[in-house]
Amino acid sequence: MVYLLYGTKDFQINEEIKKITKKQDQMNISKYDLNNTLLKLIIDDAQTISMFEDKKTVIVDNANMFTGTTSKDSDIIENYLNHINENTVLILIVHNEKLDTRKKITKLIKKIGIVKEFNDETNPAVIVKKLLKDYNINDKTINLFIDRVGNNPLIIQNEINKIKIYKGNNKTISDEDILNLTTKIIDIDIFKLIDYIIKKNKNKALELYHEMIKMNEEPIKILVILANQFRIMYQSKELLKKGYSEKDIASILKIHPYRVKLAIQNSRSYPSEVLLKHLNNLADIDIGIKTGKLNKNLALELFMLK
């Protein structure tokens, strides 16, 4: 059997993989990333008989030969699809909104395999309730959790795993548990802060910055996150202009596709030269702080007041 799972919802894709492999011994599951491993080696594994049981599963991440990206792997995968090892479950994963339906291999896998799309928006509250279905937690506490960790399903899952480990057999989760056990993601506020800075809403920018400081966020950490976000927004915007897909951009920048998606969404209103100007200013501030010429708090406040 061959599966092709594609879309931008990594959480849902991971859940689908769990369903497919739930009866499979973990010793008999091989996981590969095509960014790091040659497809020929992966296919050799898929064609090999398992040493442990009749069936084996081979999971292949970043199978981008099914998108518009030019790939030398098309012939290799086409040959395998025409000569499938019935004792192997092959799961191909594409982190892209669309497949290239014009390609021969895409038409072939739709004909002989199972292709599933994972692009639908998911309510974060629904994800939290599903992951905590065996726990006592009210809607108010769930909203507090989402306010702290954001809407990214993978981050939600990681934070809930932390809570479960800490709580052990105690199945009741309170507001205090959320505040004490979860990490507030300041990236949630970073885009808002960037918006205030670019639009020269100085009072709002300073107010939000001071709120972050009150929450014990280090000025240097805020500086680094701001600089990284300006850089990703600028680079994503420029690469998008050149015709690269979100997936291609994520691969080039070596970051998660979700971050690229957010960066593109939040950079649409800002000219590239404005993003680059702020990035250069932050780089100068970083050098000034490291050389002792600038006070970190004062430097960031002055940056927001320009």
Tell me the pLDDT tens digit for each residue of 168-177.
999 999 999 9
Q: How far apart are CA 277 and CA 10, in angstroms?
A: 33
Which one is predicted more confidently, 207 or 145?
145
Residue 117: beta bridge partners?
6
- By residue range, what is the domain housing residue 175? 124-181
- pTM (global) more than 0.95: no
Same domain? For 220 and 283 the reply is yes
- Report how many domains make up the chain: 3
- What pLDDT, in 10s, does the model give residues 152-203? 777 888 899 999 999 899 999 999 999 888 877 765 567 788 888 888 888 8
Q: Residue 172 has what pLDDT?
A: 94
Q: Is pLDDT at 26 greater than 60 in this prediction?
A: yes
Q: Which CATH number covers residue 280?
A: 1.20.272.10
Indicate whether 19 and 89 sit together in one domain: yes
pLDDT score at 132 = 92
Domain boundary among 181, 199, 230: 181
Do both 104 and 135 map to the same domain? Answer: no
Q: Which two tokens stand for residue 94?
A: 């594409």
266 near 275, Cβ under 8 Å? no
The answer on 158 and 210 residing in a single domain is: no
Q: What's the whole-number mean pLDDT along residues 69-89? A: 88
